[in-house]
Amino acid sequence: MGSGKRLKKLRKLAELGQRLPLPSGPSPLQAPLDVASAFTRAWNTHDAKAIGKLFADDADFVNVVGLWWTSRRSIRRALARGFEGWFAGSTFTVEKLSQRLLGPDAAVVIARWRIEGQRDPDGEPADTRRGLATVVLQRLEDGTWLCVSWHNTDIAAAADTNLVRAGVVTPTSYLTPLPEPAHAEDRAGE
> What is the pLDDT tens value at each position of the chain, 190 positions in all?
666 776 666 566 556 655 555 555 567 899 999 999 999 999 999 999 999 999 999 999 999 999 999 999 999 999 999 999 999 999 999 999 999 999 999 999 999 999 999 999 999 999 999 999 999 999 999 999 999 999 999 999 889 999 999 999 889 998 887 788 777 565 555 5
Please name which of 74, 96, 91 lies closest in space to residue 40, comparing C-alpha atoms. 91
Rounded Cα distance between 28 and 12, Å, is 31
Q: What are phi and psi of 112, to 5 degrees?
A: -90, 125
Rounded Cα distance between 99 and 33, Å, is 7
Specify the DSSP class assigned to residue 128: P
3-class SS of residue 48? helix
Q: How many of the other CB atoms lie within 10 Å of CB of 106?
A: 15
Rounded Cα distance between 105 and 176, Å, is 44
DSSP string, 133-157: EEEEEEE-TTS-EEEEEEEEEE--T
Identity of the amino acid at 53: K
